[in-house]
Structure 1
Amino acid sequence: MPSDVVIIAGARRSVLTWWEANRRELPWRDTRDPWAVLVAEVMAQQTQVARVIPRWHDFLDRWPTANALAAAPLADLLRAWQGLGYPRRAANLHRCAVEVTADPSLEGRLPSTLDGLLALPGIGPYTARAVLAFAEEADVGVVDTNTGRILARVVGERLGARAAQAEADRWVPAGEGWAWNQAMLDLGALVCRPTPRCDHCPLAGGCRWALDGWPEPDPATRSAGVSVRQAPYRGSMREARGRVLDALVDGPVAEDRLIAGVAGRLQEAVGSARPSAGPDAISRAATAVEELLGEGLVQASAGHIQLAGEGHPTPAGRADQ
């Protein structure tokens, strides 16, 4: 019976051979610049890759370094981020740029160690390891929704964070961390999807879940790194928050007018024929404003709401309290 080492070695060859014929051509794979890699990873979190590609190019044309972004007002970044969703990612990226620019030991460069990257705002275990693997070509495993799904299915059980990371690290071929992780990301995106295409999978012959006949529940469900299906955007707080930020792109808006306008848009979106915004829409709009204030993504001054970093920033949130 072949040893575990032999099985893994064969699986590695199968995956890398598959990848050579099926790899996705993504522009950030042509760079080893840590900043460019970080921007790509942050943008691609919960946003479709096809939407990210043109925005990544635009972003780096405008802010090619952490120093360049650190010198820009957060409001400019939030405007540029419109349409990508989850603006907290943008705020954390800005904070990260400010920190590495202010640190005399870094001088605008990202740390090249796992602990150093994890210490920065908004950089979690996946993003830190992705920067190391894709910019530094380090032999570390990355665990995201795609790779986490593969790992759980191959071993045939739900994996906690520590177990998933250990399994991911164990599979990385020495000296091939960059290629291996890119291959695993593509395999998860193209083949080992939520509804898998096992007949196209180079790991099918050794996948415990497939060999057992795909029993329910799928071991990838709730496994580390694997994201759960999001609630519909329409009618969600994500929609309300997005509409607040959209309304502020052109400048400050009186708070009462902002809430009324956003509430009206929310009501229109669900097809309501009411002549004016109802209490539920008004409540969601007001809550969205309060949340964004609390997170420092918008600020208040003299009864008006504006994007954070617009004019005179108020880090504590409201300037009129």
Structure 2
Amino acid sequence: MTGEAEETDGTWGLPEDLEAVREALISWYEDDHRAFPWRRTDDPYAILVSEVMSQQTQLGRVVEAWEEFVERWPTTAELAAADRADVVGFWTDHSLGYNNRAKYLHEAAAQIETTYDGEFPETPAELEELMGVGPYTANAVASFAFNAGDAVVDTNVKRVCHRAFDVPDDDTAFEEAANDLLPAGRSRVWNNAIMELGGVACGQTPRCDEAGCPWREWCGAYASGDFTAPDVPTQPSFEGSRRQFRGRVIGTLREYDELELDTLGHRIRVDYAPDGEYGREWLEELLSDLEDDGLVEVGKRDGDTVARLRR
């Protein structure tokens, strides 16, 4: 389903000017995005392989495996004719996760050759008939290969919708919001763009300014500084070293002449709370260290404590 935003229960809502929201994101994506090789093709087979490989595997590790796989078995006919043990062996050798994905992919290729006479099904409903292909993968292939899908809703999209438009942590709400945002007839570019936004600018640790997020003027999280999300209840466990946050302070202050203390705190960590464990006292100590090192200045402006880089 696509189209304009529908009436909601009042707990969340999309901006009135959806066209501006859409065009801002698409322009941002088309201007610069990660150049994964499967984004340069509309071959449904190659796209299906990328989607299956990407399940719970980092995209950076998928690229080499995907290129080798489609070079070795470039069509569904060649994959269907391959020995299944060879396909599973490839999966294992490239650490691509559960081997049943390789078996299902092999069986799906055989289905396309026998049931569909070698022609790839195009709609999400038809694609779901393929072995091992669920709603998400079916919709992704329909979108990226045929420009004929609904909104793809993955973890990145949920995080973006929750932060930007206060969509509650509810699958039905996420589906509704994502499809209301989707511009009619543009599922290929849109689904790539919104997932890129979640992967590059609105990750678990947001990079709003650094990545030039195109939705900052509409984003509730950017306005409030509260960047929690369904998959980000607290600061990620690998974050937290003082050296890392010193670097974030410096990087953030490079973007501004000066920032008020709490605004700076919200910019550098997702779980900043003025009176919490990682609040003003923690930030003041961090800034004091940076002052001692001659890197920042802390002063007052209109009664508020502000920080700026030392010039």
How far apart are the structure 2 equivalents of 1:210 and 1:42?
33
Instruction: Give structure 1 regions of 4+ aligned residues with deviation exceeding 3 angstroms.
Output: 3-6
Q: Corresponding residue for 2:90?
A: 80
Q: Corresponding residue for 2:243?
A: none
Tell me the CA shift for residue 171 of structure 1.
1.0
How far apart are the structure 2 equivalents of 1:73 and 1:141?
36
- Deviation digits for residues 122-160 of structure 1, max 9, x if unmatched? 212221111111000125211112222112222214332
Q: Corresponding residue for 2:32?
A: 22
- Deviation digits for residues 156-197 of structure 1, max 9, x if unmatched? 143322322222121112232211111112111111101111
Q: Corresponding residue for 1:93?
A: 105
Residues 65, 108 of structure 1: 8 Å contact kept = no
Instruction: Give SS of 1:198's match.
Output: coil
Q: 1:144 to 1:90 in 2, by over 3 A?
A: same
> Which is worse superposed, 153-162 or 59-68?
153-162
Unpaired runs of 5+ residues, structure 2, are 1-12, 238-311
Tell me the CA shift for residue 44 of structure 1.
1.4
Unpaired runs of 5+ residues, structure 1, are 230-321
Tell me the CA shift for residue 31 of structure 1.
1.3
Residues 156, 219 of structure 1: 8 Å contact kept = no
Q: 2:180 aligns with which of 146, 170, 177?
A: 170
Residues 139, 174 of structure 1: 8 Å contact kept = no
Q: 1:147 aligns with which of 147, 151, 157?
A: 157
Q: Corresponding residue for 1:201?
A: 213
Residues 123, 148 of structure 2: 8 Å contact kept = no
| Within-5 A mapping of 1:252-271 | none
Residues 149, 188 of structure 1: 8 Å contact kept = yes
Q: Corresponding residue for 2:45?
A: 35
- Identical aligned residues as a percent: 39
TM-score (norm 2): 0.65
Tell me the CA shift for residue 15 of structure 1.
0.9
Residues 156, 199 of structure 2: 8 Å contact kept = yes
Give the aligned CA root-mean-square deviation in angstroms. Answer: 2.4
